[in-house]
């Protein structure tokens, strides 16, 4: 059977699944991303002679495909967030970014260095790629689609959907903020012959942290504002323009990302900021639903493709380098490191203990981590060769963590969120006191 026809067959099933599975699995303890992985594993396990490009030997192809999925997902995530952009309303996000993310990077780096025997740069890279909460696979715990009644006064401890807001906004921002730490690993590897050589740390802080983040924010604000003015200043006036309603979300995504990357800024941050600026431009407009829905459709189709291919590389031996110590480290990252870091980040937030536990535990790992590892390995040169040498081990560990996250988080997300929604509505546990740690 020809490879082209098989590719069309797999693509057709993936698209059909993207349309049908959310209807079938709504509110059920099952993850449809996990089913995509299973479909890919089955298809590429069959003796058809068709293989999937290996991410270890093809990091650039992996980088580009996952990059496209993530930036479109970031646009959709930003358009969902209806809270005013101020310090108090976004306090759950700042806590996760300022506390949970650095603690996760440090803890994972120490595990990689102490338990797996990785060099310091490789261990830091492992921490950086594991840290982001994935914006693509978090559909069961993400915020609702945009509404037309944004509330000006928000109490982050009382508003229904606080958990979904925290995880969606965290995923939107930390997928960009993981970049400086990825670059830190690359820069450290390049300076490994003389780790205390002057200059490289200042270069990292000045360029990879301050400059690139600032350019990402500014680029996102500019593109978001210009696209918003165009959208809401020129309403659809004919049948063709109405057919294309929502496509501006894709245009804004590509423009914000490409323009920012061309001036060496962080495109991920730019896309998410652009989405926020667009969402806050005229928030009572019903057109946001079209923008959001278009972005989600494109994202889900690309996500299905990536996950089917991921299932294929799993059966082709991606996990072969795994040992028991890798499994133990992977489980520790998912079951101990992120939950503990998340709980510490929410101390004093005034939220119920159950809500804090869900926010802490549902740091889903996925396609964002694939991108960062592929990006670092594709960027590494001869001077950072120690990163390339560890590629097979890093991909095997990451593959195990993502599969396990899909199982644990995917199956538990719907029942856990339904229970907490009932708790919010007072159906169970009425009068439960807030946790005042």
pLDDT for the residue numbered 223: 94
Q: Are 271 and 257 in contact (CB under 8 A)?
A: yes
Domain assignment present for residue 411? The answer is yes
pLDDT for the residue numbered 22: 66
DSSP string, 340-364: HHHHHHTTTS---HHHHHHHHH---
Residue in 61, 210, 200, 209 with CA at minimum distance from that of residue 121: 200
Domain assignment present for residue 174? The answer is yes
Q: Is 430 exposed, middle or buried (0-12, 13-18, 19+ CB in 10 A)?
A: exposed
Domain assignment present for residue 253? The answer is yes
Domain assignment present for residue 432? The answer is no
- Cα angle vertex 361, ends 340, 107, to 5°? 40
The domain of 136 spans 3-425
* Ranges 148-157, 309-318, 346-355, 408-417: which has the least confidence: 148-157
180: Cα separation from own chain's centroid: 16
DSSP 8-class letter at 196: T
Q: What percentage of the chain has pLDDT greater than the value 70? A: 80
Domain assignment present for residue 331? The answer is yes
pLDDT-based confidence at residue 158 (cuts at 50, 70, 90): very low
What is the rounded CA–CA span in Å between residue 211 and residue 215?
6
- The yes-or-no verdict on residue 196 having pLDDT over 80 is no
Selected residue with higher pLDDT from 377 and 197 = 377
The total domain count for the chain is 1
Average pLDDT in the chain: 81
Exposure string for 276-315, b = 16+ CB within 10 A, e = fewer: bbbbbbeeebebbbbbbbbbbbbbbbbbbbbbbbbbbbbb
What is the rounded CA–CA span in Å between residue 272 and residue 288?
15
pLDDT-based confidence at residue 429 (cuts at 50, 70, 90): very low
Tens digits of residue pLDDT in 249-269: 888 999 999 999 999 999 999
| Average of per-residue pLDDT across 306-330 | 93
Domain assignment present for residue 436? The answer is no
Domain assignment present for residue 36? The answer is yes
pLDDT for the residue numbered 436: 44
Domain assignment present for residue 150? The answer is yes
pLDDT for the residue numbered 71: 92
User: What's the full length of the chain, in residues?
Assistant: 437
Q: Which domain CATH number covers 295?
A: 1.20.1530.20
pLDDT-based confidence at residue 176 (cuts at 50, 70, 90): confident
pLDDT for the residue numbered 236: 56
Selected residue with higher pLDDT from 247 and 374 = 374
What is the rounded CA–CA span in Å between residue 271 and residue 285?
21
């Amino acid at each position: 059977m020809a490879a082209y026809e098989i590719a069309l067959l797999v693509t057709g099933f993936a698209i059909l699944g993207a349309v049908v599975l959310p209807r079938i699995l709504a509110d059920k303890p099952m993850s449809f991303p996990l089913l995509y992985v299973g479909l890919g594993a089955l298809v590429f396990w069959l003796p058809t002679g068709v293989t999937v490009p290996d991410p270890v030997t093809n990091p650039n192809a992996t980088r580009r495909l996952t990059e496209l999925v993530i930036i479109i997902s970031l646009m959709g995530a930003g358009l969902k967030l209806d809270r005013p952009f101020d310090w108090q309303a976004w306090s759950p996000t700042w806590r996760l970014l300022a506390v949970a993310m650095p603690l996760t990077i440090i803890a994972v780096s120490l595990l990689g260095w102490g338990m797996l025997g990785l060099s310091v740069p490789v261990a830091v890279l492992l921490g950086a790629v594991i840290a982001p909460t994935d914006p693509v696979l978090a559909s069961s715990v993400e915020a609702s689609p945009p509404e037309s009644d944004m509330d000006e006064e928000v109490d982050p401890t009382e508003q229904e959907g606080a958990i979904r807001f925290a995880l969606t906004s965290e995923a939107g921002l930390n997928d960009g903020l993981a970049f400086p730490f990825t670059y830190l690993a690359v820069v450290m590897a390049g300076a490994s012959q003389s780790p205390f050589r002057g200059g490289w740390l200042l270069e990292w802080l000045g360029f990879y942290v301050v400059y690139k983040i600032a350019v990402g924010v500014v680029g996102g604000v500019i593109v978001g504002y210009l696209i918003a003015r165009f959208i809401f200043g020129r309403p659809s006036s004919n049948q063709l323009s109405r057919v294309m309603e929502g496509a501006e979300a894709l245009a804004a995504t590509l423009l914000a990302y490409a323009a920012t990357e061309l001036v060496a800024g962080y495109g991920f941050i730019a896309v998410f900021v652009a989405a926020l600026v667009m969402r806050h431009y005229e928030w009572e407009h019903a057109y946001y639903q079209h923008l959001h829905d278009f972005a989600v459709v494109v994202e889900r189709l690309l996500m299905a493709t990536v996950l089917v291919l991921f299932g294929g590389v799993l059966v082709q031996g991606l996990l072969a380098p795994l040992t028991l110590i890798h499994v133990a480290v992977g489980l520790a990252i998912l079951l101990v490191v992120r939950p503990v870091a998340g709980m510490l980040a929410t101390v004093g937030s005034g939220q119920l203990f159950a809500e804090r536990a869900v926010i802490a535990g549902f740091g889903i790992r996925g396609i964002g981590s694939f991108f960062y590892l592929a990006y670092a390995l594709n960027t590494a040169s001869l001077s950072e060769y120690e990163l390339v040498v560890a590629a097979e081990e890093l991909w095997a560990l990451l593959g195990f963590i993502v599969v396990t996250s899909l199982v644990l988080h995917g199956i538990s997300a719907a029942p856990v969120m339904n229970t907490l929604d009932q708790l919010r509505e007072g159906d169970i546990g009425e009068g439960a006191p807030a946790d005042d740690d």
